[in-house]
Amino acid sequence: MARIDLQSLGHSYLSNPKGDDDYALKPMTHVWEQGGAYALLGPSGCGKTTLLNIISGLLTPSEGRVLFDGKDVTGLPTEARNIAQVFQFPVVYDTMTVYENLAFPLRNRGLRGAPLDARVREIAGLLDLTADLNRRGRNLTADAKQKISLGRGLVRPDVAAILFDEPLTVIDPHLKWELRSKLKALHRALDLTMIYVTHDQTEALTFADKVVVMHDGRVVQVGRPQELFERPAHVFVGHFIGSPGMNVLPAEVSGRAARVGGHVIALRRGYPALNGGAKIEIGVRPEFATLAPAGAGGVPVRVRRLDDLGRTRIARVELSGLPMAATVPEDLTLAGDEASLLLDPAMVHVYADGTLVEGEAA
């Protein structure tokens, strides 16, 4: 049971970091609530694993503090923190049986006899490993091995949080879904804080109550999956989440209108004074940009290609020469490549230097 506080936490692998670029993890403050299911989402090299290793204590941060339930653990080694971690590649002690593997963390902490046996059997039951308890670790499949890695974390009764570092990378696709559902079920059953690192948006959005999106050593947005989808706080979130990603177009914004190459796009909110130096862009997801026949209002576009994704169709269009993706309604038929694009004003967001600008409400 623990709430994890990160206070102005930063890490640099260099001894004397100068600029922002020297940080693998730029100074940040964040709270992981007790019992939450979090996903830490971002591309490779964005600092996810660094952050995870700092929380588990495998790495000591160069700046800031880590608190567990208000207690400073920044300087404590891993074994003194009640934290478990599951790695990308399953870690199974080859020479031991599955039972011994699960018992290992408890034995190391001095537990013996009946309580140990009961606990190991309970966790094996939760993970459907009971039948394999007497098998050697080395002959098991990758997903069974990963379950054992997870089990060694769960078996400790004092564990406050379990950290997952891309745990499904080496698992067969059809078993990924199964294992992920198992994780969800365990999370509900055990009231544990879980932090799940991944670069796969589907994994992140299906696993987590809250997704923390990281980019270039920085947390760019924390939110529920729906928030990430509807109000990306950064153009990176717009690109990274969703397929295809958000359309981002350079624009001039004043008041409730955005100008893109001579066309005016209506906005829900007002933006009276935008800093002249910043790069201003508007972003709109393809899901909120609907293609309509030419002359149906909206902005005129030129259709380049239609992609049939099975359930939906996505149009690749050009607005004043700028490429965009848009949704094609089922009943739409087009004559020629002229069409018009209807944008939902509430879903057109304004970004200054990549960051969402909060407009004034209507």
Binding positions for other proteins, rule: CB under 8 A: 53, 56, 58, 77-79, 83-85, 87-89, 91, 93-96, 104-105, 108-109, 138-139, 149, 152-153
State which residue, 135 or 268, has the beta carbon closest to other proteins.
Answer: 135
**Residue matched to tokens 């490429």:** 323
- Nearest Cα neighbor of 359 from 270, 233, 276, 231 is 270
Q: Least distance in Å: CB of 182 to other proteins?
A: 20
User: What is d(CA 146, CA 148) in angstroms, rounded to the nearest whole number?
Assistant: 5
State which residue, 159 or 237, has the beta carbon closest to other proteins.
Answer: 159
State which residue, 77 or 250, has the beta carbon closest to other proteins.
Answer: 77
Q: Least distance in Å: CB of 98 to other proteins?
A: 14
Task: Report residue 361 CA to chain centroid gap.
Answer: 29
Q: Least distance in Å: CB of 124 to other proteins?
A: 16
Q: Least distance in Å: CB of 319 to other proteins?
A: 48
State which residue, 110 or 310, has the beta carbon closest to other proteins.
Answer: 110
Q: Least distance in Å: CB of 92 to other proteins?
A: 9
- Nearest Cα neighbor of 147 from 107, 182, 192, 116 is 182
State which residue, 105 or 286, has the beta carbon closest to other proteins.
Answer: 105
Q: Least distance in Å: CB of 277 to other proteins?
A: 44
* Alpha carbons within 13 A on the beta-carbon side of 122: 13
State which residue, 58 or 347, has the beta carbon closest to other proteins.
Answer: 58
Q: Least distance in Å: CB of 36 to other proteins?
A: 20
State which residue, 53 or 327, has the beta carbon closest to other proteins.
Answer: 53
